[in-house]
Amino acid sequence: MADLSGFDPNSVGNPNNNIFGLPFSESEARLVVLPVPWEVTVSYNAGTARAPDHIFKASLQVDLYDPDAVDTWKQGYFMRTPDQKILTRSDYLRKEAELYIHYISQGDAVCDNKFMMKTLKDINTGSEILNEWVYQQTMGLLKQNKLVALLGGDHSTPLGYLKACAEHYGAFSILQIDAHCDLRKAYEGFKYSHASVMYNALEEISQIERLVQVGIRDYCDEELEYIRDSNGRVYTLFDQDIKVQSYEGVTWKQMTDQVIEQLPKQVYVSFDIDGLDPKLCPQTGTPVAGGLEVEQTLYLIRRVIQSGRRIIGFDLNEVGVSQNEWDENVGARLLYRLCNLLLKSNP
């Protein structure tokens, strides 16, 4: 255990310490944050690959007192340094993806262009390598009995972690906070697109019993059909339904009861920050009007824990990088609260 006798939790965050200014090494920490600086397949605004560095900086301004989980930070949080090889590969393939997306947007057939065919293959291969890297990193931590938080990056990043969770924990469900379903098959030709992560997870990981989505408000016919044809494996509480129910007198507590009923005993939280109202995350990759408040979402997760279900891990993705660091500020505070809830769920 770390020696906390000289650490003042009421003082300003020390930049020489780790995430949230905490004085823990990786070996001392019970929870490890794995940054994944990757945004190859983003289809609108870029920048989230560099969010982990910015969130780390903003985290030094986060006060440590959390009424939901007092002093859980004393069990130790540590964030690894973003892997520069992953970031360099992301930057290179992102430029390739931009050329490819521009090409297909003109209506030209990819099969008629050997250069574009190679580009698509390179991007898909790069994503496969990333998925394997994430799997290896997270599985290594789980084998050490660490709790793991994955920090993206775009929302394609947690697939490897989900596979590690399936191998380590067995059957579980995903609670997805998001503006988008992410149930498209190979969106824009990218097999492991950020818009396909939940499709890939459900198709490739049999241990996922159910996907429960909250806040969805931007989706296509293909995704709606997938939900309807899932035989209940996918349950979606659309943002429009949240708003309509609230207008008609249904409380958020009652709506969260509906959500929790769908969840088996072990729950993984996949949090795309665009599930929140975009006033909280205007620089996220694909902002959509509507959405949830921070406390509204944390209330849901608290009630999942209170129901006796166990949170086994989480990811936080699609935090944008802004000039005034508003997005990173919100992201850092959300990351801290999620870390606390993960520890609270695993006493």
Question: What does the pLDDT look like over 179-218, one tens digit per residue?
Answer: 999 999 988 889 999 999 999 999 999 999 999 999 999 9
Instruction: Give the separation between CA 333 and CA 62, rounded to whole angstroms.
Output: 6
Exposed (0-12), middle (13-18) or buried (19+): which is 101, by Cβ within 10 Å?
A: middle
Question: What does the pLDDT look like over 98-147, one tens digit per residue?
Answer: 988 888 888 878 888 888 899 999 999 999 999 999 999 999 999 999 99
Look at the block and give the residue holding tokens 């770390």: 2
Quick one: pLDDT band at residue 3, thresholds 50, 70, 90?
confident
172 DSSP β-pair partners: 208
Beta pairing, strands 172-177 & 147-152 = unpaired
Look at the block and give the residue holding tokens 């249904």: 250
Cβ distance 87 to 49 under 8 Å?
yes
Residue 44: predicted pLDDT:
79
The CA radius of gyration of the chain, in Å to the nearest whole number, is: 19
The two tokens of residue 100 are 């490819």
Q: Which amino acid makes up residue 202?
A: L
78 DSSP β-pair partners: 32
**pTM of structure:** 0.97
Mean pLDDT of the chain: 96
SS3 of 117, please? helix
Q: Which domains does the chain have, with CATH numbers?
A: 19-340 (3.40.800.10)
DSSP state of 216: E
Residue 70 CB neighbours (<10 A): 12
Instruction: Give the separation between CA 152 and CA 155, rounded to whole angstroms.
Output: 7
Quick one: pLDDT band at residue 341, thresholds 50, 70, 90?
very high
Instruction: Give the separation between CA 266 and CA 11, rounded to whole angstroms.
Output: 37
Among residues 217, 152, 172, 127, the alpha carbon closest in space to that of 313 is found at 172
Instruction: Give the separation between CA 154 and CA 56, rounded to whole angstroms.
Output: 17
Angle at 161 between CA 159 and CA 167, to 5 degrees: 110
The two tokens of residue 204 are 């490739």
Instruction: Give the separation between CA 210 and CA 232, rounded to whole angstroms.
Output: 8
The two tokens of residue 12 are 């300003």
End-to-end C-alpha distance for the chain, whole angstroms: 16
Quick one: pLDDT band at residue 1, thresholds 50, 70, 90?
confident
